[in-house]
Chains A and B, each alone.
Chain A
Amino acid sequence: MNLALVDPFVLAQDCPEVLTGRLPGSGHSTAIRFSHHGDLLASGRVDGIISIFDIETNGVARKLRGHTRQVQSLSWSATDRYLLSASQDWKCVLWDLKDGSRLRIVRMEAPIFIAELHPKNHMLFVAAVFEDQPVLVDISSEVPVKRTLPTAPKRSQIERDNATEKQAAQDAKQTTTVTVFTPSGEHILAGTNKGWLNIIDTATRQLQYSTRLTNYLIILLRLTPSGRDLLVNSTDRIVRTLHLPDLTDPKLDFENLRLEVEHKFQDLVQKLSWNHVSFSPTGEYVTASTWMNHHIYVWERGQGSLVKILEGPKEELSVVEWHPHRPFVAAVGVDSGRIYLWSILQPQRWSALAPDFAEVEENVEYIEREDEFDIQPLEELHKRRLDQEDEEVDVLTVEPVKDSVDGEEGGGGVKEFTMPILLNVEESDSEDEVVAVGAGQFRRRSPGVGKEWMNDEENGPVASGDEVTRNGTGAAVNGTGTRKRKAG
């Protein structure tokens, strides 16, 4: 509702300009993701804890404990009620943010690169795992159903006929490094370690289309909310953007489909490699954080030119994420694990401070109105003014909010989820590395403290039977320092 009052020049800006702050709080963040509404930011940490930040208050709204190792990827459900996290402890957890409970825990056979929720069904996700086939996991029942997805690229008939044994062996050795759903959820885009892009049908789990984008490993695939633009980061130090056809179109002929790379963004001089890439909400801009460098590069896709280098803190940045509908970028520092925020600075407009103020570019000569200093009887003036107040006013009708992001699914009857406000979040927020032990005295927190919950796993639903034994060994490996066990 504030849009009508905000300076139109400020609203016209669509690219963040300056470092405006950082999220407070403790912990070394490794993965961040904005919720679809943009009011929450999930941050997964080195110690496996996930903090949900409220972007409006810059405070922690909820903490989710359940992972024992670094959080690798995060994915929100469409309503923002559920969050899927994947961690280096080989587990994926589906969290219900209504009460912070672990709805499902899925154990994988290998470390997970990325796990993504289906955009319309939060009980289905796709995960790319280390040196293994990607899996589509159905978690609608307590026991997860894992279905493997193909990796070996789909060859045309001629290629198949001419295929040598060597090529077939190479195809079989390919592994998928990244998987994402298209916004409709009908297809999965997958990138392989040999630079292939695969399009997989979600329902049939069959490869529909394959194309080779590069000879190097594909690190990350990103899509715009429309699903028509694809962003590819690979180890050849080039960020590519592609236009996709409408994959939901039933008339689409995958046989004759050819994907053209639209832009290749790279730094030819310094040969920078890119840690993480993301689209702006409309796909108009592409941002990338750089390896061994402190900057965030922003390219504009119309011309394919570099428009801005966001100066940041004095450390390398890993994950960089763009807010779903504001010119607002968050990025994580590699060394400190802090979350930095870039935005637009809005100067105070002085004309707003009094109704008779006006901002002028140059001096304006004041021209007196004809009747400005006429003396009129006060009573009459009041009466006339009151008589003028004859318009119909509508104080009740709420105008539908035009929201570029929710526009598509808005009005679908989905009840909006708001997370309950927890008043005691901060009390548990004492995971800082350093604790005060006296006046001016500090010591490092012993590593095991505050992780007692690891030892009573039976609180949550456990997916596979080998959970207990694995947990036992995991704790033994983890417990390098003093460990307090919960009595009883």
Chain B
Amino acid sequence: MDGVHDIPGKRPRSPEDEGMEDAPPTKRSSSHSPPEPSLYSPMPPYNATNNAGDDSDNDPYYQSRTRSRSRTQSPSRSISHHSRSLSPSTPPPSKPTELHYKQTLILRGHKKAVSAVKFSPNGRWIASASADATIKIWDASTGALTYTLEGHLAGINTISWSPDSTILASGSDDKSIRLWDMTTGQAHPVPFIGHHNYVFSIAFSPKGNMLVSGSYDEAIFLWDVRAARVMRSLPAHSDPVGGVDFVRDGTLIVSCANDGLIRVWDTATGQCLRTLVHEDNAPVTSVRFSPNGKYILAWTLDSCIRLWNYVDGKGRCVKTYQGHVNTKYSLAGCFGVYGSPPLQQYAFVASGSEDNSIVVWDVSSKNVLQRLEGHTGVVMGVDTHPNEQAIVSGGLDRTVRVWRYREDAVETVTAHLAAS
């Protein structure tokens, strides 16, 4: 893999692009070489003006199609915010009550809103998908642009890494799913064709042999990755499917839809094993298994994220995380860990918000540990690094931002402008 230094032919290289970043695009070693001054211009602290333009919210394409839920909600219901109950229970003394993530990188380059960001499982790369129909692969430590993957005909909603980090899959509004070879930066010649409408969410199985996809056409397909064929179609929902995920051993799939249902499926038989529904019936836009697979985290358009225990009884909601704004977009988030592992390891939930921030909650106490401010638009996607204390986020302000845990107060923000 290290020998691959050729630039994929698809990548547009305008002359000024060449001038901007001569060597780094293919620089993939994680050596922390000092950044070249021309490359990384120091940026003022993060609420600086973003001259790239903040008009993403007015982007007609994005508004109308990409992941904005058309389901009309009575405003009264969605606004009826349950007053946040920050229980004053004091956490155990050793447990940190706040986190100190600081912005370290701003990655610019996408021409439209960023819809999803993901660290690769080996922690080496960041993939960001955008409504501009491209995926960009960045070096996770330096922020250098490695690849720009072009091939989709419409905006991309979702991306998923294969477990060995060699393949990236992407689902798009052009109804197809594509695989990208990370060793070459080339697209796999056979796209996955089968969905009748926008592909909203995809997830690789833990072995990488299967891919599950949820679509606006209300169907969930289970794909044989090797043969690029539909193995099984799950008669899932009666509304667009918002999110899908595999459990850690691959035996279960969870899906959610605008009809407010969360369903758990048996991968081997394709049968529904459990249905979770909250009585408000708010559209569920995104769903994830916990790292140990015992809980399901679900985002709903009533500005709540709920943690479900799906095993006990008929399944019950054990935690509700509030404090972010989510009434319109399909926001995504993730689990992360803090504390000093392995003795003191605690879990947090991080999510984007429509108030341009990223909110981090403690899983058990539901307290907000930190709000990461910096984005100038809705934060669509958040992901945590598999083994470092880092968070990546992307949003409607077209930027991808990397946040790292820093105890010291020194804020060193480097912005990286790629192929603008």
Instruction: Tell whether A393 pairs with B307 under 8 Å between CB atoms, given A354-B275, A379-B83.
Output: yes
Q: Which A residues touch B209, using CB under 8 A? A: 54, 56-57, 61, 421
User: How far does the Cβ of B151 sit from chain A's closest Cβ, in whole Å?
Assistant: 15
B153 at the interface (CB under 8 A from A): no
B225 at the interface (CB under 8 A from A): yes
A362 at the interface (CB under 8 A from B): no
Residues of B contacting A: mostly: loop
In contact, A355 and B247 (Cβ under 8 angstroms): no
In contact, B267 and A56 (Cβ under 8 angstroms): yes
Q: Which A residues touch B217, using CB under 8 A? A: none
Contact of A389 among B167, B228, B268, B320 (CB under 8 A): B320
A6 at the interface (CB under 8 A from B): yes
Which residue of chain B lies nearest to A348 when distances are taken between CB atoms in the complex? B271
Contact of A395 among B210, B251, B363 (CB under 8 A): B363
User: How far does the Cβ of B130 sit from chain A's closest Cβ, in whole Å?
Assistant: 25
In contact, A1 and B251 (Cβ under 8 angstroms): yes
In contact, A421 and B226 (Cβ under 8 angstroms): yes
Q: How far is the CA of A56 from the CA of B232 in the complex (A)?
A: 11
Scan residues 403-425 of chain A and give those whose CB is less than 8 A from a CB of chain B.
418, 420-423, 425
Scan residues 347-399 of chain A and give those whose CB is less than 8 A from a CB of chain B.
348-349, 352-355, 378-379, 382-383, 385-387, 389-399
A5 at the interface (CB under 8 A from B): yes
In contact, A383 and B335 (Cβ under 8 angstroms): no
Q: Which B residues touch A268, using CB under 8 A? A: none
Most chain-A Cβ atoms within 10 A of its Cβ — which of B205, B209, B266, B291? B209
One of B120-128, B132-140, B310-318, B410-418 contacting the partner: B310-318
Contact of B82 among A386, A391, A418 (CB under 8 A): A386
Instruction: Tell whether A393 pairs with B83 under 8 Å between CB atoms, given A1-B249, A423-B226.
Output: no
One of B98-106, B292-300, B376-384, B389-397 contacting the partner: B292-300
Most chain-B Cβ atoms within 10 A of its Cβ — which of A59, A386, A399? A386
Q: Which B residues touch A56, using CB under 8 A? A: 205, 207, 209-210, 250, 267-268
B256-293 Cβ-contact flags toward A at 8 Å (1 or 0): 00000000101111011111110000000000001111
User: How far does the Cβ of B80 sit from chain A's closest Cβ, in whole Å?
Assistant: 7
Q: Which B residues touch A379, using CB under 8 A? A: 80, 82-83
B364 at the interface (CB under 8 A from A): yes
In contact, A423 and B225 (Cβ under 8 angstroms): yes
Chain A: how many interface residues by the 8 Å CB criterion?
46
B159 at the interface (CB under 8 A from A): no
B355-393 Cβ-contact flags toward A at 8 Å (1 or 0): 000000001101000000000000000000000000000
A58 at the interface (CB under 8 A from B): yes
A459 at the interface (CB under 8 A from B): no
Q: How far is the CA of A348 from the CA of B263 in the complex (A)?
A: 14
In contact, B85 and A387 (Cβ under 8 angstroms): yes
Contact of A5 among B266, B292, B319, B363 (CB under 8 A): B266
In contact, B210 and A57 (Cβ under 8 angstroms): yes
Scan residues 207-232 of chain B and give those whose CB is less than 8 A from a CB of chain A.
207-210, 224-229, 231
Which residue of chain A lies nearest to B273 when distances are taken between CB atoms in the complex? A5
B337 at the interface (CB under 8 A from A): yes
Q: Which A residues touch B167, using CB under 8 A? A: 421, 423
Which residue of chain B lies nearest to A10 when distances are taken between CB atoms in the complex? B269
A204 at the interface (CB under 8 A from B): no
User: How far does the Cβ of B339 sit from chain A's closest Cβ, in whole Å?
Assistant: 10
In contact, A355 and B364 (Cβ under 8 angstroms): no
A17-50 Cβ-contact flags toward B at 8 Å (1 or 0): 0000000000000000000000100000000000
Q: Which B residues touch A399, using CB under 8 A? A: 292
Q: How far is the CA of A379 from the CA of B363 in the complex (A)?
A: 23
Q: How far is the CA of A60 from the CA of B224 in the complex (A)?
A: 10
Q: How far is the CA of A112 from the CA of B251 in the complex (A)?
A: 39
B188 at the interface (CB under 8 A from A): yes
B164 at the interface (CB under 8 A from A): yes
Contact of A383 among B85, B208, B266 (CB under 8 A): B85
Instruction: Tell whether A395 pairs with B335 under 8 Å between CB atoms, given A57-B224, A389-B319, A389-B320.
Output: yes
A2 at the interface (CB under 8 A from B): yes
Q: Which A residues touch B291, using CB under 8 A? A: 395-396, 398
A346 at the interface (CB under 8 A from B): yes
In contact, A418 and B207 (Cβ under 8 angstroms): yes
Which residue of chain B lies nearest to A395 when distances are taken between CB atoms in the complex? B290
Q: How far is the CA of A353 from the CA of B274 in the complex (A)?
A: 6
A426 at the interface (CB under 8 A from B): yes
A476 at the interface (CB under 8 A from B): no
B173-200 Cβ-contact flags toward A at 8 Å (1 or 0): 0000001000000001010000000000
Q: Which A residues touch B208, using CB under 8 A? A: 418, 421
B51 at the interface (CB under 8 A from A): no
Q: Which B residues touch A422, using CB under 8 A? A: 226
B347 at the interface (CB under 8 A from A): yes
User: How far does the Cβ of B163 sit from chain A's closest Cβ, in whole Å?
Assistant: 8
A477 at the interface (CB under 8 A from B): no
In contact, B251 and A2 (Cβ under 8 angstroms): yes
In contact, A6 and B266 (Cβ under 8 angstroms): yes
Q: How far is the CA of A396 from the CA of B268 in the complex (A)?
A: 25
User: How far does the Cβ of B225 sit from chain A's closest Cβ, in whole Å?
Assistant: 6
Which residue of chain B lies nearest to A356 when distances are taken between CB atoms in the complex? B314
In contact, A1 and B248 (Cβ under 8 angstroms): yes
In contact, B226 and A59 (Cβ under 8 angstroms): yes
A437 at the interface (CB under 8 A from B): no
Q: How far is the CA of A59 from the CA of B264 in the complex (A)?
A: 24
Q: How far is the CA of A4 from the CA of B293 in the complex (A)?
A: 12
In contact, A60 and B273 (Cβ under 8 angstroms): no
A401 at the interface (CB under 8 A from B): yes
Which residue of chain B lies nearest to A61 when distances are taken between CB atoms in the complex? B226
Q: How far is the CA of A443 from the CA of B373 in the complex (A)?
A: 68
Q: Which B residues touch A58, using CB under 8 A? A: 224, 231
Q: How far is the CA of A5 from the CA of B311 in the complex (A)?
A: 7
Q: Which A residues touch B188, using CB under 8 A? A: 423
Q: Which B residues touch A425, using CB under 8 A? A: 226-227
Q: How far is the CA of A426 from the CA of B225 in the complex (A)?
A: 11
Instruction: Tell whether A421 pairs with B225 under 8 Å between CB atoms, given A6-B273, A396-B337.
Output: yes
User: How far does the Cβ of B194 sit from chain A's closest Cβ, in whole Å?
Assistant: 15
Q: How far is the CA of A279 from the CA of B179 in the complex (A)?
A: 41
Q: How far is the CA of A395 from the CA of B314 in the complex (A)?
A: 19
B252 at the interface (CB under 8 A from A): yes
Q: How far is the CA of A353 from the CA of B224 in the complex (A)?
A: 26
User: How far does the Cβ of B65 sit from chain A's closest Cβ, in whole Å?
Assistant: 29
Q: Which A residues touch B225, using CB under 8 A? A: 57, 421, 423
Q: Which B residues touch A354, using CB under 8 A? A: 275, 277
In contact, B248 and A393 (Cβ under 8 angstroms): no
Q: How far is the CA of A401 from the CA of B206 in the complex (A)?
A: 15
Q: How far is the CA of A395 from the CA of B207 in the complex (A)?
A: 21
Instruction: Tell whether A59 pairs with B227 under 8 Å between CB atoms, given A389-B318, A421-B167.
Output: yes
Question: What are 18 A-B contacts defined by CB distance under 8 Å?
Answer: A1-B249, A2-B273, A4-B311, A57-B225, A57-B226, A59-B227, A353-B272, A355-B276, A355-B314, A382-B82, A390-B89, A395-B291, A395-B363, A398-B291, A399-B292, A418-B163, A420-B166, A421-B167
Residues in A lying within 8 Å of B, measured CB to CB:
1-2, 4-6, 39, 54, 56-61, 346, 348-349, 352-355, 378-379, 382-383, 385-387, 389-399, 401, 418, 420-423, 425-426
Q: Can you add 16 more A-B contacts, CB < 8 Å, to A5-B273, A389-B320?
A: A2-B267, A4-B311, A57-B209, A57-B231, A59-B231, A346-B266, A348-B272, A352-B273, A385-B320, A387-B87, A389-B318, A389-B366, A391-B364, A392-B364, A396-B292, A420-B164
Closest 9 pairs (CB-CB, A-B): A395-B290, A2-B251, A382-B82, A5-B273, A57-B224, A59-B224, A421-B208, A398-B292, A386-B85
